[in-house]
Amino acid sequence: MTQDVRELVAQASRALAAAGLGDMVWGHASVRDPGGRGVWMKASGWGFEEIDQKRVVLVSPEGTVLNGTGSRHIEYPIHTEIMARRADVRAVVHTHAPTLAAFASLDHELKPLSHDAVPFTHPQLPRFTKTGALIATPELGQELARSLADADAILIPNHGAVTTGPDLETAVMYAVLLERACHTQLLAHAAGGPATWSDEAETRFKRGQVWNRDQLHAGWNYLIRRVSAR
């Protein structure tokens, strides 16, 4: 089981790299430990594309590395505190992808201009405005988790974003979709718009039609094939 969890985190990290969501050695993905001991996440000091099973560590809710070699990320409370508050969340992704960071700085609502924004609108995804600095304490992690509430993602202006999911495949895909949705809206703003987008009824319909579990996992499988082909 430990080997399977480590490989899943390694695959998620490489998938995020393949989708262009890397930020040198920063950003991280995690999955809840099946034994309830904390979260498995990438070790610090490595880029998404460099992660293999040996660079995945088990981090306790208190920040202690319980299994694996290497150091933990200072922002581990993002993962542990969200999972402590949300029993439905089994996986978390934190990324500093540039387009979503740029969009977060504009303080505009995200509109469902394309399929990509559907998981994050109606209701609108929240923003965490307590700080744009690192989420380096349990207290800040708890405040982030409260701001996230039951949403799939949260923007952190001047920092990045966090996505969640019932599995790591979904959390990764939500990170990819959020970056793409922000990119599309920035393009529309640059062209003087946007002028049209899906209404609430269509958005909610598309959430089940376009981004059901099978479709999210199909996107994940595509990213894994891209990684494997390299």
Domain annotation covers residue 145: yes
Domain annotation covers residue 198: yes
Domain containing 46 — which CATH number?
A: 3.40.225.10
Q: What is the DSSP secondary structure assignment for residue 88, as one 8-state letter?
A: T
Residue-level pLDDT at 134: 98
Residue-level pLDDT at 1: 58
**Is the per-residue pLDDT at 2 higher than 80?**
no
105 band by pLDDT with thresholds 50, 70 and 90: very high
Domain annotation covers residue 84: yes
- Helical spans, DSSP H, in 29-157: 76-85, 98-104, 138-148
Tell me which residue range forms the domain holding 120: 2-224
In this prediction the pTM is 0.97
Domain annotation covers residue 229: no
83, 161 Cβ separation under 8 angstroms? no
230 band by pLDDT with thresholds 50, 70 and 90: confident
**Is the per-residue pLDDT at 198 higher than 80?**
yes
Residue-level pLDDT at 229: 81
Domain annotation covers residue 230: no
Counting Cα atoms < 13 Å in the Cβ hemisphere of 1 gives 7
What is the rounded CA–CA span in Å between residue 155 and residue 148? 9
- pLDDT tens by residue, 143-183: 999 999 999 999 999 999 999 999 999 999 999 999 999 99
39 strand-pairing partners: 32, 59
Structural domains in the chain (count): 1
Domain annotation covers residue 127: yes
